[in-house]
Structure formats: structure tokens, C-alpha cells
Structure 1
């Protein structure tokens, strides 16, 4: 079942999970302000967008209430600054992870230390785009770079190290003479 009418900025998450519904959408990168600040937008198509999906699921637990889970998936191609040549490098950002929802912040903190999956306190309303943006930013490469840069970074001649024309052994002999005195 797919939810037909929803607001990704104010998603009523509990019915989505209990009814095992799926919501999905396309959100322009420009609308995700923090992500947009980290990319080289001038080297991306103006219509570049994040394709995303959230799927709710109740998982049965023997002798207890079912656990509330949501599968979060997103994909986008962005341009980042290559740390070698400082030019644009295309990176594919993708996420596909499960998030467990619990009733309180205290329960979330306790389980977060035990589980590999993300654990969040169940909010009344969830801004799914904010969660997606957080996860995409966390998934960005720490040092984006080309495999082989298209152009090497030019080094100004004035910045090249000056190599003395003096014989290095003559310099050592001069030092030896000063130490002997």
C-alpha cells in the first residue's frame, strides 16, 4: 500500500509504520539547504534531485509488542570539490538503511548503544527530508577526488623551491670547519 497524500516536511510516521505504507518522492537538491551548500551546484543540472523512499514495517516480537521500523532509501548524483585539482568531481550518494522507532528519547539512547541500526524516538510529525539530508551528508566522502584528475593543478614558478647551486659537500665541509673551532 502506498500513501497517496502526504507532506514530507510533516509526516505522520506512526500510521505509516503500523499500516506498512510506503511514501516516495523527488526533492530538488536546492531545497535541501545544508546539502546544497556542500556541493558545487554550478556544475550540476538545475533540476538535480534526490529520489527517496520511506517504507514502514511492524516486526513481530515473541512475547512483546511489535517493533516499529522504517526503511529509508535515497539516491542523488552531486558535484563536489576534488581535493587534488580543486575541480568538480561527480559523486553518487546513496543510502539504504533501516531505522528503528521507539517511544522515548531514553529508550532510543539505550538501544542506540546496543544496535548497529539507527534508533530514533517516535515523533508525532517527522520531517523526512531533514532525515534524508542528514544521512546523505553523513555518507559523503571525506576527501572527494578524481581517480585521475583531468588537469593537474598548476604550480606557480614563484612557489617552486629554490635549489642552491652550491656543492652540498662544500657546505658540509664549511660546517665541519666551524664545529672544529
Structure 2
């Protein structure tokens, strides 16, 4: 029997799950364009290690129900982002392991997704697995990347002499209140 060639960029999810197949691989980080857009300028995405991934298909038949199509997807990546404190590159390890359930139409997917913990997607003829991996990795990126301890703290801004003079000239509002309060006692 001829073994079926599986293309992760055009994955036939239904056949993959029916066969209980599994697949693993890696992609250069530069092929995940949206993640590459988040790269620190000093750390080009071409220097990042490749994104590692594995996928396994499964067909489940619940008691008294129709067969369900499932994929278990895992990915692991290392991204160089810009630290929001010192503005230097910081490495972020991003990884996920998720189950995805596939259903026949968008309305059922929306209804089930709202009520369940797993992700529910609409079954398509060909799934671009790289796009799904990138979507999930983007969700795992830190909102505010930063070092635990920055290698070089930012220098404190110098105070402008004009700003210091303005501060000295501004009257203290509590001093005016104290003066008013003092006037009430002498009368």
C-alpha cells in the first residue's frame, strides 16, 4: 500500500485524523512573517532557531454520537523581542500544546467554542498548519517583553534648568490654605 504524502501547508484534516496520523517538523522562524515582524531590530529573525512543531490527528466517537475530528498541536519557538525597559533584545521562549476540534460549519464552531474549553475550528479541505502554529505562537508572545534584570539600565533623564525654575516659582497650594486658615483664627 502506498503511504500518503502529508503536506503540512495543505493538511487534509479529516483524512489525517481518520488515519490517526502524526507529523513533526520545523520551519525557519523567518517563514512566520507576523512573528518576524515583532523581532528586535538588533536580532534579525534569520538568526533565530527554527520553530519546532508536532501534530497528531485523532478521530473520537462519543457514545451515541457521531465521530469527531481532533488535532493535537504543539510548537516551541524562541523569539528575540525588544525589552520595554532597556530597549535591548530579550529572548522569549514561546510554546503551546492544544487540542483543536473540527466541525462542519461556522455556526456550530461558534456555538461549541463559546461553551467548551478546547478550541473549535471549522473543517476546511486544506489547513495551512504553519498559519495555525503562527496564530497560536502569537497568542503566547508576552504583551510587554522585558528582562528579569536588564543588562544596562536606562540613564535617568537630565532635569532641565528651566523646569527646576518653574517648580521653584510655583506657589505651594497648601501654604495658601494655611494662610487662609490662620486669618480665621485672629479675627
Give the TM-score normalised by structure 2. 0.82
Change in CA separation of 1:28 and 1:41 when aligned onto 2, cut-off 3 Å: farther
The number of aligned residues is 176
What's the offset of the Cα at 1:4?
6.9
Q: From the CA coordinates, give the structure whose radius of gyration is larger.
A: 2
- Residue 118 of structure 1 corresponds to 119
CA distance in 2, matches of 1:152, 1:28: 32
User: Do structure 1's residue 21 and structure 2's residue 24 form an aligned pair?
Assistant: no
Question: Matches of residues 28-47 of structure 1 in structure 2 within 5 Å?
Answer: 28-40=28-40, 42-43=42-43, 46=47
In structure 1, stretches of 5+ residues that fail to align are none
Residue 41 of structure 1 contacts residue 79 of structure 1 at CA under 8 Å; is this kept in 2?
no
In structure 2, stretches of 5+ residues that fail to align are none
User: Do structure 1's residue 10 and structure 2's residue 10 form an aligned pair?
Assistant: yes
CA distance in 2, matches of 1:173, 1:115: 62
Alignment root-mean-square deviation, CA = 2.8
Which aligned runs of 4 or more in structure 1 are off by greater than 4 angstroms?
Answer: 158-161, 163-166
Whichever structure has more strand as a proportion of its residues is: 1
CA distance in 1, matches of 2:177, 2:115: 66
